[in-house]
Amino acid sequence: MKAKSYSRQELIALLRRQGIAPTHQRLEIAHVLFSRCEHLAADQILALVNERHAETSKATVYNTLNLFRDCGLIREVIVDPKRVFYDPNTQPHHHLYNIDTGEITDIPAADLAISGLPDLPPGMVTEGIDIVVRVRTL
């Protein structure tokens, strides 16, 4: 996943396409998420957004992350029981999780195959499959 540098106009278009009003705070948060391609937790995003000049509250960060998630702009990564990480990469992919450092790395789903999954109980539909490879530094 490339760390494309989105212009302000591109970010505005990105939000509008989802029917999201491009407020200053949402643009700042989108910028933090999409300019670097990392897996960030809410408190890290809050800190990054207010780095230069405090102007976005904790409530707005959480509101916005939930909004972006509901619109499919970002996804949640559940690997650490302590906090949720937000992933700007919404392509199907999986994760390598270093349990010592907490580092999360993408694993492309392209060349990966799972076989032998049992059939789903009737009336259920798959929402997604998440694979987490937990690694330790030797």
Binding stretches for Zn ion (CB under 5 A)? 87, 89, 106
Q: How far apart are CA 70 and CA 74, in angstroms?
A: 8
Q: Which is nearer to DNA, 69 or 109 (CB)?
A: 69
Asked whether the beta carbons of 83 and 41 are under 8 A apart, the reply is yes
119 binds its own copies (CB under 8 A): no
C-alpha angle 72/75/81, rounded to 5°? 150
Residues in 28-47 that interact with its own copies by CB under 8 A: none
Residues in 78-117 that interact with its own copies by CB under 8 A: 78-81, 83-84, 96, 98-99, 107, 111-117
Residue 111 token pair: 């060349």
Q: Is 109 exposed, middle or buried (0-12, 13-18, 19+ CB in 10 A)?
A: middle
26 binds DNA (CB under 7 A): yes
Residues in contact with its own copies by CB under 8 A are: 76, 78-81, 83-84, 96, 98-99, 107, 111-118, 120, 123-138
